[in-house]
Amino acid sequence: MTQSQGETKIQPTTDNAVKNFTWLRRGVSEIFPEQVHSDDPLENLEKRLTDTHRPLRVKLGIDPTSPDIHLGHSIPYRKLRAFQDAGHTAVLIIGDFTAKIGDPTGKSEVRRQLSDEIVAQNAKTYLNQLRPILDFDTPGRLEVRYNSEWLSKLDLAKILELLSTMTVGQMLAKEGFAERYAQENPIYLHEFLYPIMQGYDSVAVEADVELGGTDQKFNIAVGRDLQRHFGFPPQFGVLMPILIGTDGTQKMSKSLGNYIGLSDDPLTMYSKLEKIPDHLLEQYFELLTDLPLDVLPENPRDRQKLLALNIVAQFHGQEAAAKAQQTAMSLVQGATTDTSAVPEFSLSQVEFPAKLFYILSASKLCKSSSDARRQIQGGAVRLNSDRVTQLDLAFEKPEQLYEKVLQVGKNKFVRLVP
Amino acid sequence: MTQSQGETKIQPTTDNAVKNFTWLRRGVSEIFPEQVHSDDPLENLEKRLTDTHRPLRVKLGIDPTSPDIHLGHSIPYRKLRAFQDAGHTAVLIIGDFTAKIGDPTGKSEVRRQLSDEIVAQNAKTYLNQLRPILDFDTPGRLEVRYNSEWLSKLDLAKILELLSTMTVGQMLAKEGFAERYAQENPIYLHEFLYPIMQGYDSVAVEADVELGGTDQKFNIAVGRDLQRHFGFPPQFGVLMPILIGTDGTQKMSKSLGNYIGLSDDPLTMYSKLEKIPDHLLEQYFELLTDLPLDVLPENPRDRQKLLALNIVAQFHGQEAAAKAQQTAMSLVQGATTDTSAVPEFSLSQVEFPAKLFYILSASKLCKSSSDARRQIQGGAVRLNSDRVTQLDLAFEKPEQLYEKVLQVGKNKFVRLVP
């Protein structure tokens, strides 16, 4: 399946929006500290933005252990782009240090040790997926840093100093630790160092603002404490909500299967987005588009289409989005008039004669041949919109399948080509 | 006041004692682990001592922030000497690393930052006081190490590994931390590193045994865990009791004033020891002498004298001890026949005419002139055994005082000289 790597950028916010800070506050859960009536640029982010006569440094951390990102991850990057468009510097920090160390207890799957090469490859994959969101081109708007640059140089004396800025009580009050301690689940001492390392990143890059999900408040606050300790003005925290996934109930996550990947092809992305549950529509518009919220279509079905079109256009361009919309409509209606937006799968990879369930597996529409047989049995498989019922359906020659669309469920399609 | 730096060594234990391990067990509170019926040299220290075909490495840590040591501190060093005499290697670790860092919170007086020069000077003073106790001369019996050698080389990756061997729960169960956490007194995160640093010292020097007071059990156990983690056989802990001071109730401590310093002159040391309360006599004999406990004199007064004579002899030699005993007896009896053992104070440091309370302060017999006046008022001051009652007693010329003994309370004397 080929995936187009769109280069279209999201629309920059208007000058007016920059001036009245709608770009800053849209979709934000919390800004801290926030003394709205203060004139002190240490207490009021709007003052810091207007009174600082240099671009602010806006930090966002990247974990290079999980290179595939989805729309949920994209939310703080969209805010970062808004800061870039207002003239500020995005400082992306690739957390290569801990990725290369892993978890010394060997108990965390997420923190397994990765080689330099894999970390670099993951970081590259990650950054590529961000190309449609961030401004990579305007000089001074983007800085990419690897935190091993400063963390690998810390010695015991400095680490004692960093640790001395916090108490055990503060650390144990942190969400996550508190419950584990109460339930007598072991918390290993080195885990206390992770928030401190993230906080020290803010010192090292002299961050003015750190962006993150609402679950990052503690870590961002640790950064503030450490900056104060080292004599820097403490950063502001700008917290964004956690996105609910396509199932409408749980947070978007690859492992739950309720996600829309940034590298999904246009048709897959469109098909998932046009089925977003009604009660999530407003949040999706607010967090994932720049459309004004007061002029959205009344009809929920029209809203879904507008949302899908807008988001697919951000990642793949207007034309691809329009095409995906057409294809999705024709597939749903059982027509096959225009299938050119459907991702291709080359049958040259398959040995003929071939069973259909094998093709379903080889094309990754199903996880395995046995999964494919289950899907056929369940009636989820269609060939050019005709439901397939024969479990052992086989084809003598690839030519019999050329230009046909093979479909599993509502969102997964491939167009079979030579 | 001059202080003789005695070079006399304590008596080595006999061959027979070495064989039946009376030297090992005398005055010991706890050995751990102790599987007395085990043949495994990892569980039974006697097996380790007999089955290991090399000298064992016996670790003891020195804190170079407090160079003045007293008899309470000497107890584990006496045990260390017993290990030396049984053919093993004493490994003294000077904790210069933390002394040079200090406490980053600046809250601990003990952990204030010290320069290289002061640390070196303190270590030298400390080691000099140990000369009468330890075997400094037999090749292979003493190794002095500075822990900055390995601690200053630790990087963040290694520190994460060290920290990952312990949980927050284990650390908070430690005496001291537990109460502070319960009382919501802040525990700073870097404090968790101190037991781990001490434990890592055991890894670095490949200790077979670590000696310490009973308050060191946790730290010695951390050393065992870290040695196991790095693939070394874990050390044994040999714990010694905490010595009660001359007041008979509280642990010996300089700040409580109930101490006997290793660098006290023979008369001061003798005078303090011959007044040790009866209920402490047995513990003092057991911990501070090698005398057999079953043949001690019946009469408590004779026991006190024997104890005082034996301990003074360890630090200042037999002759000086005998002389101190004679002087002490003549002073107590009001005679001044032989005052040559009384430390001298040169009146050349005092401007005449001079008040007696000023001389008391200048000679350090009293803390200050006002303290001296209080002592005179309280009837504690004697000149050649005559009680001084006149608060403003003054002398025109120093010659009036030459060779007289000035005394405060029962233990403090100086002989006034030109």
- Nearest C-alpha of chain A: how many angstroms from B109? 15
Q: What is the pLDDT of residue B335?
A: 53
Same domain, yes or no, for A198 and A294? no
Q: Enumerate the H helices of A317-410 as residue ranges.
A: 318-332, 356-362, 369-377
More confident residue, A284 or B382: A284
pLDDT at B348 over 70: yes
Q: Which of A103, A158, A168, A198 to mutate to test the interface with B (most CBs of B within 10 A)?
A: A168
Other Cβ atoms less than 10 A from the Cβ of B136: the count is 16
Task: Give the separation between CA B334 and CA A225, rounded to whole angstroms.
Answer: 67
pLDDT at B15 over 70: no
pLDDT at B401 over 80: yes
SS3 breakdown of chain B: % helix, strand, coil, rounded to 5? Answer: 45, 15, 40
Same domain, yes or no, for A306 and A188? no
The answer to whether position A294 is within a domain reads yes
Task: Give the separation between CA A127 and CA A122, rounded to whole angstroms.
Answer: 9
Task: Label residue A17 by pLDDT band (50, 70, 90).
Answer: low
Q: What is the pLDDT of residue B6?
A: 40
- Nearest C-alpha of chain B: how many angstroms from A167? 4
Nearest CB to A189 within list B103, B166, B181: B166
| Residue among A316, A340, A318, A319 nearest A328 (CA) | A340
The answer to whether position B133 is within a domain reads yes
B187 CB neighbours in chain A (<8 A) are 167-169
Q: What is the pLDDT of residue A386?
A: 83
Final residue in a domain of this structure, among A278, A306, A335 = A335
Mean local confidence (pLDDT), B281-301: 92
Task: Label residue A8 by pLDDT band (50, 70, 90).
Answer: very low
pLDDT at A9 over 50: no
Q: What is the pLDDT of residue A105?
A: 67
Mean local confidence (pLDDT), B342-365: 89
Instruction: Convert B124-135 to b/e letters by CB count within 10 Å (16 or more is b).
Output: eebbebbbbbbb
> Which tens digits make up the pLDDT trace of A142-184?
999 999 999 999 999 999 999 999 999 999 988 788 888 888 8
Residue written as token pair 């092809």: A265
C-alpha distance across the termini of chain A, in Å: 13
Binding residues of B for ATP: 254
Q: What is the pLDDT of residue B288?
A: 96
On whether the CB atoms of residues B20 and B88 are closer than 8 A, the answer is no
As a whole-number percent, the residues of chain B with pLDDT over 70 amount to: 91
Q: What is the pLDDT of residue A109?
A: 59
Cβ separation A189–B169 shorter than 8 A:
no
CATH at B285: 1.10.240.10
Q: Domain range spanning residue B91?
A: 21-240
Mean local confidence (pLDDT), B365-392: 88
Nearest CB to A192 within list B151, B181, B189: B189
B193 CB neighbours in chain A (<8 A) are 156, 159-160, 163
Q: Of the spans A102-111, A332-341, B16-25, which averages the highest pLDDT?
A: B16-25
Least confident span in A84-93, B132-141, B171-180 = B171-180
The answer to whether position B6 is within a domain reads no
On whether the CB atoms of residues B268 and B411 are closer than 8 A, the answer is yes
pLDDT at B4 over 60: no
Same domain, yes or no, for B235 and B313? no
- Nearest C-alpha of chain B: how many angstroms from A177? 10
pLDDT at A376 over 50: yes
> Which tens digits make up the pLDDT trace of A299-308?
889 999 999 9
Whether A47 has a binding-site annotation, put simply, is no
Q: What is the pLDDT of residue B58?
A: 98
Same domain, yes or no, for A277 and A315? yes
- Nearest C-alpha of chain A: how many angstroms from B40? 29
| Residue among A95, A85, A93 nearest A137 (CA) | A85
The answer to whether position A250 is within a domain reads no
Complete DSSP assignment for B240-295: EPPPB-TTSSSBP-TTTT---BTTS-HHHHHHHHTT--HHHHHHHHHHH----GGG
In sequence order, the 6+-apart residues with CB closer than 8 A to the CB of A129 are A68, A69, A262, A263
Nearest CB to B193 within list A160, A177, A196: A160
Q: Specify the number of domains making up chain A.
A: 3
* CA–centroid distance for B92 within its chain: 14
Cβ separation A161–B190 shorter than 8 A:
yes
Nearest CB to A169 within list B103, B186, B190: B186
Mean local confidence (pLDDT), A249-278: 91
Same domain, yes or no, for A85 and A212? yes
Final residue in a domain of this structure, among A240, A256, A284 = A240
Mean local confidence (pLDDT), B318-325: 93
pLDDT at B416 over 60: yes
> Which tens digits make up the pLDDT trace of B227-257?
999 999 999 999 999 999 999 999 999 888 8
B163 CB neighbours in chain A (<8 A) are 104, 188-190, 192-193
Q: What is the pLDDT of residue A19?
A: 65
A310 token code pair: 């807008």
- Nearest C-alpha of chain A: how many angstroms from B161? 5
Task: Label residue B178 by pLDDT band (50, 70, 90).
Answer: confident
> Which tens digits make up the pLDDT trace of B250-270?
999 988 889 999 989 999 999
Nearest CB to B189 within list A104, A105, A171: A171
Residue written as token pair 């308050």: B215
B172 CB neighbours in chain A (<8 A) are 168
Nearest CB to A190 within list B155, B163, B169: B163
Cβ separation B101–A160 shorter than 8 A:
yes
pLDDT at A102 over 80: no
Q: Which residue of B has its CA nearest to A194?
A: B160
Same domain, yes or no, for B132 and B201? yes
pLDDT at B105 over 80: no
- Nearest C-alpha of chain B: how many angstroms from A162? 8
pLDDT at B5 over 90: no
Q: Which residue of B has its CA nearest to A106?
A: B164
- Nearest C-alpha of chain A: how many angstroms from B191? 8
Nearest CB to A160 within list B177, B186, B190: B190
Q: Which residue of A has its CA nearest to B108?
A: A164
Least confident span in A88-97, B99-108, B142-151 = B99-108
Task: Give the separation between CA A201 and CA A98, rounded to whole angstroms.
Answer: 12
Same domain, yes or no, for A153 and A197? yes
Q: Of the spans A21-35, A334-348, B110-124, B341-355, which averages the highest pLDDT?
A: A21-35
Inter-chain Cβ pairs, chain A and chain B, closer than 8 A: 112
Q: What is the pLDDT of residue B106?
A: 64
CA dihedral A173, A176, A177, A180 (to 10 degrees): 120
On whether the CB atoms of residues A288 and A279 are closer than 8 A, the answer is no
B166 CB neighbours in chain A (<8 A) are 188-189
CA dihedral B293, B299, B305, B309 (to 10 degrees): -30
Q: What is the pLDDT of residue A385?
A: 76
Nearest CB to B155 within list A103, A152, A167: A152
pLDDT at B110 over 80: no
- Nearest C-alpha of chain A: how many angstroms from B355? 51
Which residue type does B202 have? S
Task: Give the separation between CA A289 and CA A274, rounded to whole angstroms.
Answer: 14
- Nearest C-alpha of chain A: how many angstroms from B160? 5
C-alpha distance across the termini of chain B, in Å: 13
> Which tens digits make up the pLDDT trace of A327-350?
888 776 655 556 667 788 889 888
| Residue among B322, B317, B321, B324 nearest B132 (CA) | B317
Computed on alpha carbons and rounded to an integer, the radius of gyration of chain B in Å comes to 24
Binding residues of B: 254
Mean local confidence (pLDDT), A31-57: 90
Same domain, yes or no, for A328 and A387? no
* Strand arrangement, sheet containing A386-387: A344-346, A412-417, A405-408, A381-383, A386-387
On whether the CB atoms of residues B70 and B123 are closer than 8 A, the answer is no
Q: Which of B168, B172, B201 to mutate to test the interface with A (most CBs of A within 10 A)?
A: B168
Which residue type does B95 have? G
Task: Label residue B37 by pLDDT band (50, 70, 90).
Answer: confident
CATH at B386: 3.10.290.10
> Which tens digits make up the pLDDT trace of A35-46?
888 889 999 999
Task: Give the separation between CA A281 and CA A301, rounded to whole angstroms.
Answer: 10
CATH at A229: 3.40.50.620
Mean local confidence (pLDDT), A280-296: 92
Same domain, yes or no, for B205 and B323? no
Same domain, yes or no, for A67 and A183? yes
Q: Which residue of A has its CA nearest to B106?
A: A164
Q: Which of A96, A98, A108, A156 to mutate to test the interface with B (most CBs of B within 10 A)?
A: A156
Nearest CB to B190 within list A97, A101, A164: A164
Instruction: Convert A318-336 to b/e letters by CB count within 10 Å (16 or more is b).
Output: eebbbbbbbbbebbeeeeb
A177 CB neighbours in chain B (<8 A) are 168
pLDDT at B7 over 50: no
A159 CB neighbours in chain B (<8 A) are 156, 159, 190, 193
Final residue in a domain of this structure, among B240, B272, B304 = B240
B105 CB neighbours in chain A (<8 A) are 164
On whether the CB atoms of residues A67 and A122 are closer than 8 A, the answer is yes
The answer to whether position A371 is within a domain reads yes
The answer to whether position A206 is within a domain reads yes
In sequence order, the 6+-apart residues with CB closer than 8 A to the CB of B118 are none
More confident residue, A356 or A20: A356
Same domain, yes or no, for B269 and B145? no
The answer to whether position B2 is within a domain reads no
Same domain, yes or no, for A232 and A214? yes
As a whole-number percent, the residues of chain A with pLDDT over 90 amount to: 55
Cβ separation B169–A181 shorter than 8 A:
yes
The answer to whether position B233 is within a domain reads yes
Task: Label residue A108 by pLDDT band (50, 70, 90).
Answer: low
DSSP state of A96: H
